[in-house]
Structure 1
Amino acid sequence: MSFNRCARIHHRAFLSITGPHSTQFLHGILSTGPPQSSPRGGFFTAFLHAQGRVLYDAFVYRHPSNDDGYLIEFDSRPSQAPPLLSLLKRYILRSKVKITDVSDEWDVWAAWGDGNNNEVSDRKWRWSRSGAVEPLWESEEWPWGGVEDRLLIRDRRAYGMGRRRVISKGLKPPESANHDVVSYADYTLHRVERCIPEGIDDITPLQAFPMESNLDIMGGLDFRKGCYVGQELTVRVYHTGIIRKRIYPIILEHINAAGVESNNITALSPGMDIITVQSGESREVARPRPSGKLLTTVGNRGLALLRMEQVEGPNRSSFSLNTDKSWRLTPFRPSHWPPPENPTS
């Protein structure tokens, strides 16, 4: 039985960046890449604010018709972040680059399953004393792909994520011939189950910090490539700070008035406060101060920003929603994350 799936990803926009200075221009803005020498391919990255908070998480592809150019894929929904096109134009100065909105030309699809496994053993991890981690790629091959097929990326944010492909607007990808075409909700569940935050609901612009949003684990931060916007605070946290929160996958349960647990749950609104619940002598006592934020949910699965000590510490907490104590939230550490013990600088 095949479990191959593909789905069009909603809420995505595209910018084209061309010109002889394109690589150097992006190198000074993005939190990773682009590669300065061959092999050159696509990659996952982020745009940060000068104070180190996230503006956009993004994918960068090689331009389909320009050897010096790139396509940038990002969340198109309005947010507190400035529009990406106007933001990038501020940085052009004397750089020989041209930036164009080409969102009406392209769609992006994800494909995953038996035929899209990227479960390779070329990844090790480097720890910092702050708790930040870096994936280390041992293979000489560009880990994200996109070298020969410019508009195809191996989604290395987590094991099993599959591939991501940009195609002309309104068309279906070649994977649709031997994959089941499923809904955007199926893709969302696929990434949520692998603890992959994506877009403004999970990585709140101008509020989210990159390591708390797991950008380091997902390969979206480079702590050694030199100066870029937001780099100073990010590297300072890496070397001297302590990461106290992260986004975790959660299982949701609702206990109705009859005391019956239910997993038949409709999506909840992102941004709801999460509180810890301690066992009292005769009843459960909820702490009034929020302990985290609920992010994307699909059915009884979701993502939440929580304090690490309350999820993985010796005295693990129980969690509920501040607005309705009948919700039970159970977070867990993803199996593909690097082992937490013995971090070294």
Structure 2
Amino acid sequence: MTISLRADRAIFRFSGPEAHKLLNDVVTGHIPASGDIAAWWALLSPQGKILAEGMAGWADDALWLDVHAAVADDFFKRMKMYRLRAKAEIEDLRVTHRPGYAESPSHFAHRQQIGPVNLGWRLIAPVEQTTDWADDKAYASARIRAGICELGQDFEPNQLFAHDIAMDILGGIDFAKGCYVGQEVVSRMKHRGTARRRPVLITNTTAPSGTPVMANDREAGTLGRVLNHQAVAILRLDRLTDPTTITAADAPITLAVPDWATYQLGDSTAEQ
């Protein structure tokens, strides 16, 4: 079995009698307390912008989270601040452990289920057991084809709202639980229906990641990671009224919404 090393992700372990409550009170998703399914979540700023996102899985009386390495220091600092006097320990495992991806479980595994999308298994292993793991292209290809966005690969921190990457559609937001950081903004966007940006599948592109996607003379967004001429781009839907005119690096590209999407190209909202 081939295992892909996700070298740009960092692992954190939350343990203690109040670890689950700490996370459930701070991040957007429904944090599991049992089972082998990892849940998608985001840590938001008070203004509702995504500061970190990843998967959280329960095992060995602890929660195991992954975040992009570029935001790991900030995530660790903020979670220690939010912990206050909670009976919870936060361990930074960046030096000792690495995450990976495979289509079947091995090592220490959680199934990555994002809404209706099955993204295989997230594996966690000590560094010395990961030396023969492959690069991350298999995971990135599966994620891109499914239309799942990832911080650090497709967008930068503190730039987008949770709705922009479809966390409201794909189960990354628990609308039934109480307050968490940024919840007022999330709730307002849900009830007003003001999400203007959404993930869009891009094919037939030779442009590099970060290239602006142009709708006539107006920028609609930028390309995320490009692999095999495919990418996910978080785009202004209302600017995509004529998909045949959309370009990247002055070349035409092909657009489609993901299979799970509840929106269409060209959709507009009450607030423009």
Which TM class, normalised by the smaller chain length? 0.7 to 0.9
1:156 is aligned to 2:108: no
Partners of 1:84 and 1:316 in 2: CA distance: 38
1:204 is aligned to 2:161: no
Opposite residue 258 of structure 2, the aligned amino acid is P
Partners of 1:82 and 1:236 in 2: CA distance: 30
The alignment's TM-score, normalised by the length of structure 2, stands at 0.85
Cα distance change, pair 331–297 in 1 and its aligned pair in 2 (3 A): same
Unaligned runs of 5+ in 2: 265-272
Partners of 2:107 and 2:48 in 1: CA distance: 30
What's the counterpart of residue 42 of structure 2? 46
Alignment partner of 2:13 out of 7, 11, 16: 16
Partners of 1:40 and 1:171 in 2: CA distance: 21
Structure showing greater Rg:
1
Once the two structures are superposed, residues 78-131 of structure 1 have per-residue CA deviations (whole angstroms, 9 ceiling, x without a partner) of 5xx96111111111222122222111221212112xx68xxxxxxxxxxxxxxx
Partners of 2:107 and 2:182 in 1: CA distance: 28
Partners of 2:146 and 2:107 in 1: CA distance: 26
The alignment's TM-score, normalised by the length of structure 1, stands at 0.68
What's the counterpart of residue 269 of structure 2? none
1:303 is aligned to 2:232: yes
What's the counterpart of residue 283 of structure 1? none
Q: Percent identity at matched positions?
A: 24
Contact 1:61 1:71 in 2 (8 A): yes
Contact 1:310 1:316 in 2 (8 A): no
Contact 2:143 2:149 in 1 (8 A): yes
Opposite residue 247 of structure 2, the aligned amino acid is S
Once the two structures are superposed, residues 151-184 of structure 1 have per-residue CA deviations (whole angstroms, 9 ceiling, x without a partner) of 42222125342221212223159xx9xxxx6531
What's the counterpart of residue 184 of structure 1? 136
SS at match of 2:137: helix
Partners of 2:65 and 2:167 in 1: CA distance: 17
Query: Of Structure 1 and Structure 2, which has the larger fraction of its residues in helix?
Result: 2
Once the two structures are superposed, residues 123-160 of structure 1 have per-residue CA deviations (whole angstroms, 9 ceiling, x without a partner) of xxxxxxxxxxxxxxxxxxxxxxxxxx994222212534
Partners of 1:182 and 1:35 in 2: CA distance: 29
What's the counterpart of residue 30 of structure 2? 33
What's the counterpart of residue 258 of structure 2? 334
Opposite residue 75 of structure 1, the aligned amino acid is H
Opposite residue 257 of structure 2, the aligned amino acid is R
Partners of 1:191 and 1:301 in 2: CA distance: 11
Contact 1:320 1:328 in 2 (8 A): yes
Matches within 5 A, 1:1-345: 5-35=2-32, 42-64=38-60, 67=61, 69-77=62-70, 83-112=74-103, 151-157=108-114, 158-172=116-130, 182-253=134-205, 265=206, 268-270=208-210, 272-277=211-216, 287=217, 289-311=218-240, 313=241, 315-316=242-243, 318-321=245-248, 324-325=249-250, 327-338=251-262
What's the counterpart of residue 143 of structure 1? none
RMSD: 2.8
Partners of 2:168 and 2:213 in 1: CA distance: 24
Cα distance change, pair 39–301 in 1 and its aligned pair in 2 (3 A): closer
Once the two structures are superposed, residues 40-96 of structure 1 have per-residue CA deviations (whole angstroms, 9 ceiling, x without a partner) of 8632211111111111111112243xx2x2222110125xx9611111111122212
Cα distance change, pair 50–26 in 1 and its aligned pair in 2 (3 A): same
Opposite residue 110 of structure 1, the aligned amino acid is Y
1:9 positional shift: 1.2
Cα distance change, pair 189–54 in 1 and its aligned pair in 2 (3 A): same
- Count of residues paired in the alignment: 263
Partners of 2:263 and 2:79 in 1: CA distance: 37
